[in-house]
């Protein structure tokens, strides 16, 4: 992809004029950097007695991950899941990508592969995924690797 930054800081940012922006050569999102240190968002999954919950942790606060059934409704009232090929895992893949990447179209395009590559192999009742790791996975998926 072409881009008009003059340099890249190795973390996916370059400059357009004096504005620090995501470097498309590094396949960033196109977000403008606000000058703050990058924050890492963590997705924490817990499963107990068959009930699965995923919370999003960032900047010292947390909230439940929205299932994003407004994009695609796989699981209805059944919620999230991981470690198996089913509706709950589909819903979780879609929800994580939509939340982390803030891009519903990208989430729709890549959630099935994310499910296969990342969520199906998780066999434990608990997991933690970081936004950094998800972003890295998305960059590779965009390249087809």
Q: Could you report the per-residue pLDDT of 54-93, keeping only the tens digit for each?
A: 999 998 899 999 999 999 999 776 889 999 999 999 999 9
Place 12 in a pLDDT band, splitting at 50, 70 and 90.
low
Contacting residues for 57 by C-beta, under 8 A, at least 6 apart: 41, 42, 43, 44
Q: Where are the domains of the chain?
A: 1-36, 42-143
Q: What is the DSSP string of 96-122?
A: HHHHHH--HHHHHHHHHHHIIIIITT-
pLDDT at 76: 72
Average pLDDT of the residues of the chain: 81
pTM for the whole structure = 0.74
Residue found by looking up tokens 């982390």 in the block: 100
Instruction: Return the DSSP state at 26.
Output: G
Q: What pLDDT, on a 0 to 100 scale, did the predictor assign at position 31?
A: 41
**What percent helix, strand, coil does the chain show, rounded to 5?**
30, 25, 45
């Amino acid at each position: 992809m072409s881009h008009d930054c003059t340099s890249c800081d190795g973390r996916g940012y370059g400059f357009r004029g004096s504005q620090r922006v995501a470097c498309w050569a590094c396949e960033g999102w196109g977000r403008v950097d606000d000058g703050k240190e990058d924050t890492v968002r963590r997705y924490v999954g817990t499963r107990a007695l068959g009930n699965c919950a995923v919370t999003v942790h960032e900047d010292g606060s947390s909230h439940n991950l929205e299932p994003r059934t407004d994009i695609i409704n796989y699981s209805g009232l059944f919620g999230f899941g991981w470690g198996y090929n089913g509706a709950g895992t589909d819903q979780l893949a879609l929800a994580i990508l939509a939340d982390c990447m803030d891009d519903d179209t990208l989430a729709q395009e890549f959630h099935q592969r994310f499910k296969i590559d990342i969520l199906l192999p998780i066999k434990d009742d608990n997991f933690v995924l970081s936004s950094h790791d998800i972003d890295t996975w998305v960059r590779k998926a965009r390249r087809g690797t």
